[in-house]
Structure 1
């Protein structure tokens, strides 16, 4: 890509923030006008992409908060798939769902349906801070060091939809893990916070910048650290060359030591440069099979999916099966497999067998 593209995108963002295109989406939907090329770029801030196969159709990508879905949300996604998306529903890596074949005039209806079950597409793409990636067995892992749900929700609340972070040089992806076994990420996040045991049952988080460990912080320091890093990228990232506009390119240009110096001057505490021995338990992969949960009387069931492409009936059948066995929620792994979080232990085996029949295979 040319430098002109970077300059053009910067001009487009300066002319109108991507977050401000929402009203235009509704206007295009009502009037039936063809979106401008500039607004098509801004649409990405709301997870909307013009479909390559046909310029009259769009696809939308829905990031899942903490990667989680409940039965009601599953049913809504199935309904959207059937009514508006030609039965398409694809799982994407990074804990996201994608619909295809959407018409412009249907987008407001789809947004409303998502909103009614506490889902949205804000900051799915564009030059924004993305929804944080979490460990798929967080809160149910018997070996986890800390439940990171509250921290992850606070990070999403601070960034998603916040205009202060809607015009970065490029995307910024964070992840957080409270377990020793790792999250089996497909690619290295820009920023990751990984729990490690420290002294008498205390937990510190390793801060990793593009995979490089720079020190330890406490759980209460994570949000401030995340904000400081996002602001550094916002202020110093490259906005003139699209090929050098990523967060990793900034680190490559500065070097990790220079970045650390800027970060240290941006926060009111010290990142601990101590040797506590980073936990190195081998990753458990996708957590397939029936597993004991940290919640008494429950099990979690990891299932392999053979394809990331589903139909509305696949998802309805999944929701019905969960309800039949008194389970209510699942999480997507970062590579697109699923984990049933709250199967009653007395029904876990029967549920696993039925899931296998529906091509969600726990027995790997």
Structure 2
């Protein structure tokens, strides 16, 4: 492929398209020295046999991520130890890749068995539709892979500077009002490029989203590249393409390219966009290496021109913007009719927390009503597809025994939480148990609140639970007390949202809440909103206009 050389920049960014591939940081060096995909065989042949102490530094802290493996936090270390060199345990988090959250009951059963046999029963649904296992020993990784691959699953490129798990509509192919089913495109991308050295060395992580659902259920505004279902007035159903979204410490929303792409052309356009990131992405500094910075600097028009001229060799059709109705729910919770007359049953765990035993029971309940398809959503929810309508209510009742609620409170329905202090080496505060306690308290205090009210709990500034786009975003911090000890606190962000009213959350001056005061604070905030809201006004709309004193 011929790539047009861009004009020389005034300061080296490390972009390969500038003609110099000299690594400008340690991460770029180890990626260039040996393709990270090669670590798989060393894990099988050497590290699993010789044990944790045999693992080389570059593999352990770098290339293992390409196999979905991160060392986790040593048990018992609080947030004051974050950043210390010896915070890492000799056990691993393993991220099982489940593109689109699309799983059979056989696959879920296999994950459950692995959880109970090798991961101390751990299993968390992430907001990228993966399952994360914890406490995995290096000695057990080959057998875990063997079991996963026997049911067409794996962990390759679930982490790392590569194309990570593709998120997609969890009701693709069954939703009654679906614009277009993107499953074939997702599967083709996975088949051709996941585990392919062509894209195994990108500047940073790379996140893809594909959905033809009219409810915009993939958070396309915050992914590197997204394909969103839209009807073209002349050409019919296809996709509106967005690039350059991402959160973390410098949140930036994606931009529309203004093109319309039919489903059969999505893989080629994805390849072109990904190639631009590989070749032009900023590799010099890790904190500037995400694609959002390239898109921000170039703008959508230039990005489209480079895509068409240098990578596709053709013009793309102009297309209309995808729109969504105000107030649309994106999480698919509840009982909903499919296009074939059957229903899906969507249930909410608290912040994605599951377990091996719960997954076993989930499979039993699904198969008990004749379903063989389970979906995880980008909102940490669980769906059972293909349920006979007459069985739906009974299934909903039975799911309660494993803490999956089909008709949840707004508090339970709208909470997200990252991994947090329990396992994550970057975290400063607890998240999962804090989320459960907060939800359960609010269910007692304000059980009848009937408007969407999202709480996104993050254990550090990296926004893995999307703190900047929730009604109430909570960023974990530590605060030193007068006696020299530390307490967990959360910086509060208010009024963030996606979909029809996309905006980053508002930062009120010096607004922090002690972890033990979260239910009190959120109750007070919710009651003030209910007293002051105008007819039909959402919480995020009120929070953006409210006086700061009313937000405290």
| TM-score w.r.t. length of structure 2 | 0.63
Give the structure 2 partner of residue 124 of structure 1: 158
Q: Displacement, 1:15?
A: 0.9
1:29 paired with 2:65, answer: no
Structure of higher CA gyration radius = 2
User: How many residues align structurally?
Assistant: 360
Q: How does 1:133-148 map to 2 (within 5 A)?
A: 133-148=167-182
SS in 1 for 2:96: strand
Give the structure 1 partner of residue 255 of structure 2: 212
Give the structure 1 partner of residue 65 of structure 2: 44
Does the CA contact (< 8 Å) of 2:30 and 2:58 recur in 1? yes
Q: Displacement, 1:194?
A: 0.9
Moved over 6 A (4+): none
CA, structure 1 residues 100+186, in 2 after alignment: closer, same or farther (shift >3 Å)?
A: farther
1:351 paired with 2:395, answer: yes
Of 320, 335, 338, which aligns to 1:293? 338
Aligned equivalents of 2:91, 2:146: Cα separation in 1: 19
Aligned equivalents of 1:14, 1:200: Cα separation in 2: 46
SS in 1 for 2:93: strand
Q: How does 1:8-87 map to 2 (within 5 A)?
A: 8-26=26-44, 27-32=46-51, 33-40=53-60, 41-53=62-74, 55-87=89-121
Aligned equivalents of 2:198, 2:211: Cα separation in 1: 26
Q: Displacement, 1:201?
A: 7.7
Q: Displacement, 1:186?
A: 8.5
Aligned-residue RMSD, C-alpha: 2.0
CA, structure 1 residues 34+154, in 2 after alignment: closer, same or farther (shift >3 Å)?
A: same
Aligned equivalents of 2:164, 2:90: Cα separation in 1: 27
Deviations 1:236-257 (A, max 9, x none): 1111111111111111232333
SS in 1 for 2:54: coil
SS in 2 for 1:204: strand
Does the CA contact (< 8 Å) of 1:86 and 1:101 recur in 2? yes
Aligned equivalents of 1:280, 1:57: Cα separation in 2: 44
Give the structure 2 partner of residue 247 of structure 1: 291
Aligned equivalents of 2:157, 2:324: Cα separation in 1: 33
Deviations 1:20-77 (A, max 9, x none): 1111111110122431110011000010111221522111111202211221112111
Aligned equivalents of 2:333, 2:59: Cα separation in 1: 42
Aligned equivalents of 2:354, 2:348: Cα separation in 1: 14
Of 273, 281, 290, which aligns to 1:229? 273
1:194 paired with 2:237, answer: no
Does the CA contact (< 8 Å) of 2:123 and 2:355 recur in 1? yes
1:112 paired with 2:146, answer: yes
Of 198, 212, 228, which aligns to 1:164? 198
In structure 2, stretches of 5+ residues that fail to align are 1-13, 15-22, 75-87, 245-253, 409-552
Flag the structure with more relative contact order, 1 or 2, with Cα contacts below 8 A and sequence separation at least 6: 1
Q: Displacement, 1:154?
A: 0.8
CA, structure 1 residues 139+203, in 2 after alignment: closer, same or farther (shift >3 Å)?
A: same
Q: Displacement, 1:318?
A: 1.1
Aligned equivalents of 2:179, 2:351: Cα separation in 1: 32
Does the CA contact (< 8 Å) of 1:197 and 1:279 recur in 2? no
CA, structure 1 residues 73+204, in 2 after alignment: closer, same or farther (shift >3 Å)?
A: closer
SS in 1 for 2:242: strand
Does the CA contact (< 8 Å) of 1:184 and 1:286 recur in 2? no
Aligned equivalents of 1:313, 1:51: Cα separation in 2: 22
SS in 2 for 1:140: coil
Does the CA contact (< 8 Å) of 1:132 and 1:155 recur in 2? no
CA, structure 1 residues 202+257, in 2 after alignment: closer, same or farther (shift >3 Å)?
A: closer
Q: Displacement, 1:130?
A: 1.6
Aligned equivalents of 2:94, 2:338: Cα separation in 1: 34
CA, structure 1 residues 277+22, in 2 after alignment: closer, same or farther (shift >3 Å)?
A: closer
Q: Displacement, 1:342?
A: 1.3
| TM-score w.r.t. length of structure 1 | 0.94
Deviations 1:261-292 (A, max 9, x none): 21121213322235x45333343221221111
